[in-house]
Amino acid sequence: MEKGYETAVGGDNSSPFSHMGSTDGGQQPCVWSSPQGGCKIDIRKQIFCNRSLNMKNILAVGFDMDYTLAQYKPETFESLAYDGTIRKLVYDLGYPRELLDWSFDWTYMVRGLVLDKKRGNILKMDRHKYVKVAYHGFKELSKEDKVGTYGNTLIRDSFDEPDYALIDTLFSLAEAYLFAQLVDFKDKNLEKIPKGADYSVMYKDVRAAVDLCHRDGTLKQMVAKDPKRYINEDTTIVPMLKMLRDSGRATFLVTNSLWDYTNIVMNFLCGSRALDGSRKCNFDWLQYFDVVITGSAKPSFFHEGNRANLFEVEHESGMLLNTDNGSPMAQVGSSSPRLSLKGDKACRVFQGGSVGHLHKLLSIESSSQVLYVGDHIYGDILRSKKVLGWRTMLVVPELEREVELLWELRDTRKQLRKLRNERDLIEDKIHHLKWSLKFEDTSADEKQKLSSEYNALESERDGVRITHQDAQRECHKMFHKIWGQLMKTGYQNSRFAHQVERFACLYTSQVSNLSLYSQTNTTDPVKITCPMNSILFPCETF
């Protein structure tokens, strides 16, 4: 695997993007899925790596559900969330009824943005927290306003709560778009906004409305009625889970969703079908897991000091039963512990608890023996990695299109690097001439000649710079018309990419991509390895 992947990532090639293939028209890369032989894995389905992972050491693989196993359709699910939030704002929080006529563009916002609650701005910044793209509502800030607001402080903002909100999950895209709409609406219709509602208050109201939609079941009831309308079907999830279990590893599910909703979604993804093709709502999907924990309240679930009670869930009724740290307890009026009707080997379902309970249920002795797959940097990945030392894999669905575009635009990116090198070479010559004119003892004729050459070089540099900027902007728009490439901001990693690099051992576009890498050979296991900087996609975008 290491040799095969080294071929894919370039081995001795110094380019941090060599795992995406050559930029001179070479063949697309090949990733080996087992030591015995290789198979070509589509670039969109590959698993990328920040820290090498030897699957021999992994005894348990866990999954989040929402936006990890269950990929929601943004055009329907996010629109549903948006409409529900609008209705809460109007009918519960007193916003004008004309908001009911607003529509949602689910393609506009992207992950990794930061909302400035006080100023009503939406920001994209690089890993060093320099703001590179900024909008007030839907109006782009000028370079002068951007630098004046975010670039002239001696002590830079942390861009964290409470003054800022991070758009780090796909669930947040609808609220970010609605916030931008409200900012524009307030600027044009100040008298129509509830009294005392500044930008911060409006964001607080949006957040409260979103939370209310989740609490009162507005969203989940609609999804439960017609899962196919809101969730992508993925027939590769079951084979992946079977493969992991056949390799001798335990599998578990830890989700913040409660049992009733979890059962509906997992039935849709993994459940059996009736003869007419419809899905039967039962508990067959539990055969693919050793432990299921619902209502986990992540990220607090990952704190070792968490003392939350662990209840067992009765499948049929959904009733909660007391446990003694996961062990069955005698119920009041009974002299013996309740025994599972399905036997000790059947998957047990719980609610609440903490990571300590999970380790005990799985007989895990070391946190490094666990690989956890999730979609949320802060809710799934950061705590499990930083606090526990679990190995982590982040699901980033946007990668599928990103890496495909990076491959298609390889010649464009090569030309952009050429233009940038040309500009840098001219600027270097300008600096040398400037130094000569200022400090070297030369005759008047020589100075006149150097001055003419200096002016000509400045004109040439300006031309190359404009050409480069125009080409750069066009490349930028290929990824996203407003925010550009997900993993880059200018020549730097974006803040989102920096977080992925810090906290995710692995990252990929879909959870089922795990099935493309053989897990069955435990004596000579797969090692997923690549250069530390594999995340550094060298595409010059704003």
Query: Exposed, middle or buried, 243 (CB in 10 Å: 0-12/13-18/19+)?
Result: middle
On the question of pLDDT at 67 being above 90, the answer is yes
Per DSSP, the three-state class of 506 is: strand
Range with lowest mean pLDDT among 84-98, 322-336, 449-463, 479-493? 322-336
Distance CA 251, CA 249 (A): 6
Name the least confident of 114-128, 129-143, 431-445, 500-514.
Answer: 431-445
- Higher pLDDT pick, 92 / 274: 92
Continuous segment of H or E residues that includes residue 257 = none
Tell me the average pLDDT across 494-514.
91
517 three-state secondary structure: coil
Q: Stretch 227-245: mean pLDDT, rounded?
A: 93
Q: In 3-state terms, what secondary structure has residue 322? A: strand
Q: In terms of Cα–Cα distance, which of 20, 50, 2 is closest to 414?
A: 20
Between residues 200 and 446, which one has the greater pLDDT? 200
Cis ω before 337 (30° cut-off from 0): no
Instruction: List, by residue number, the catalytic residues.
Output: 64, 66
CB 528 within 8 A of CB 1: yes
Contacts of 88 (CB under 8 A, 6+ apart): 208, 209, 212, 213
pLDDT grade, residue 138 (50/70/90)? Answer: very high
* pLDDT (tens digit per residue) in 259-291: 999 999 999 999 766 545 555 668 999 999 999
Confidence of residue 4 (pLDDT cuts 50, 70, 90): very low
Nearest to 504 by CA among 398, 399, 371, 359: 371
Which tokens belong to 331?
């119920």
Fold of 51-71+231-329+343-395: Rossmann fold (3.40.50)
- Which uninterrupted H or E stretch holds 147? helix 143-150
Q: What is the pLDDT of residue 236?
A: 92
pLDDT band at 338 (very low <50, low <70, confident <90, very high): low
User: pLDDT, tens digit, for every residue of 409-421?
Assistant: 888 888 888 888 8
Region label for 219, one of left (φ > 0), alpha (ψ between -120 and 50) or beta (otherwise): alpha
Q: Do residues 28 and 21 make contact, with C-beta atoms less than 8 angstroms apart?
A: yes
- A 10 A CB-CB count for 386 gives 13
C-beta separation of 252 from 290 below 8 A: yes
Under DSSP, is residue 10 helix (H, G, I), strand (E, B) or coil? Answer: coil
Instruction: State which amino acid sits at residue 322.
Output: N
List C-alpha distances in Å: 483 to 79, 113, 171, 173.
21, 9, 18, 13
The mean pLDDT of 112-131, rounded to a whole number, is 93
Distance CA 163, CA 200 (A): 8
Of 29-33, 270-274, 345-349, 428-432, which range is least confident? 29-33
Task: Using alpha carbons, list the distances in angstroms from residue 67 to 77, 218, 247, 510, 542.
Answer: 11, 18, 25, 10, 28
Percent of the chain with pLDDT over 90: 43
Answer for the pair 138, 93: CB distance below 8 angstroms, yes or no: no
User: Helix (H, G, I), strand (E, B), or coil: what is residue 428?
Assistant: helix
Residue 344 has pLDDT above 70, yes or no: no
Reported as half-sphere exposure (CB side, CA atoms, 13 A), residue 324 has a value of: 7
Q: Which residue shows structure tokens 């000790």?
A: 344
Q: How far apart (Å, rounded) are the C-alpha atoms in residues 278 and 136?
A: 47
The residue assigned the tokens 């994209």 is 124
Identify which of 217, 163, 172, 16 has the alpha carbon closest to the alpha carbon of residue 82.
Answer: 172
> Percent of the chain scored above 70 by pLDDT?
81
Instruction: Confirm whether residue 375 is marked as ligand binding.
Output: yes
Query: In terms of C-beta density within 10 A (0-12 exposed, 13-18 middle, 19 or more buried), how is residue 224 classed?
Result: middle
Instruction: Determine if residue 64 is labeled as part of a ligand binding site.
Output: yes
* Global confidence as pTM: 0.82
Model pLDDT for residues 139-186, shown as the tens digit of each residue: 999 989 998 888 865 456 678 888 999 998 888 999 999 999 999 999
pLDDT-derived band at 507, boundaries 50, 70, 90: very high
The answer, yes or no, to whether residue 533 has pLDDT greater than 80, is no
248 neighbors 56 (Cβ within 8 angstroms): no
Instruction: Report whether 279 contacts 91 (CB < 8 A).
Output: no
Q: What is the pLDDT of residue 110?
A: 94
